[in-house]
Amino acid sequence: MNFREKNITIGSVVAELPKASKIFGGYGIDFCCGGHRNLDAVIREQGIPAEEIYQALEEAQREREDSYRDISLNSMSPTALSTYIEDRHHSYLREALPEIADLLSTILRVHGSKHKELFEVYRLYGMLKSDLEQHLLREETMLFPAFENEADHREEISELSAIIIGEHEAAGEVLEKLRHATGHYHIPEDVCGTFRKTYELLEELEQDLHEHIHLENNILLKQYDTRGN
């Protein structure tokens, strides 16, 4: 739902997103008797900071989508979840990894002499890329097929899990170093659009990888994870 549209009524927002009633209550917006009124008009009439309320609604909507997504992923069979991970996250990486590598070598050539941190970013990214490429293959050729007949492959899955979770931890550490080397993906003022795009894509990759690893460690391999035992 796009809360910023002009003809959205307060009642329809609460019907779609129950948590909105709490947000509206906090701003003194009447969502019961005044539910038929347009949100946009009420915001203007009552002098409520529009951006603040739109952002609060959007945040609540995102949270709800995430929790629905987690519930449905939690109830998937390991095979279905593996297919989901492969379709969504492995495919994404197969496009993003080489694209970012090309962009990084371009910006290193153009901006490296002034932005020496790019040498370290380039080195770390190269490590992450090659580690992940073999990692994806390990999952696709060994782990995911083993789930097709999980009962017969428990021991194999358990051994693979230890390796795979270890590789996730190593990737997480490189991501942290990349974040540090790029100054939290801060884009310097004197650089070109390619530099900006590279850092934006790198940050997107970080986000996607965190989600991807969360699904594998905490859902797919949960019962095989021996860390902390």
Nearer to Fe ion, 55 or 91 (CB): 91
Nearer to Fe ion, 206 or 216 (CB): 216
* Nearest distance from C-beta of residue 18 to Fe ion, angstroms: 34
Looking at residues 171 to 210 of the shown chain, list those that interact with Fe ion (rule: CB under 5 A). none
Looking at residues 49 to 78 of the shown chain, list those that interact with Fe ion (rule: CB under 5 A). none
* Nearest distance from C-beta of residue 139 to Fe ion, angstroms: 5
Rule CB under 5 A: say whether 220 interacts with Fe ion: no
What mask of x and - would describe binding to Fe ion in positions 139 to 168, judged by CB under 5 A? x-----------------------------
43 token code pair: 């915001």
Contact 124, 178 (CB under 8 A): yes
Classify each residue of 117-140 as buried b or exposed e, where b means 16 or more C-beta atoms within 10 Å of its C-beta.
Answer: ebeebbebbeebbeebeebbeebe
Classify each residue of 159-194 as buried b or exposed e, where b means 16 or more C-beta atoms within 10 Å of its C-beta.
Answer: ebbeebbebbeebeebbebbeebbeebeeeeebeee
The residue written with tokens 């990888």 in the block is: 209
Nearer to Fe ion, 139 or 206 (CB): 139
Rule CB under 5 A: say whether 216 interacts with Fe ion: yes
* Nearest distance from C-beta of residue 85 to Fe ion, angstroms: 5
Site size for Fe ion (CB under 5 A): 2
Give, in order, the Cα–Cα distances in Å from 134 to each of 17, 117, 139. Answer: 42, 27, 9
* Nearest distance from C-beta of residue 83 to Fe ion, angstroms: 12
Return residues touching Fe ion (CB under 5 A): 139, 216
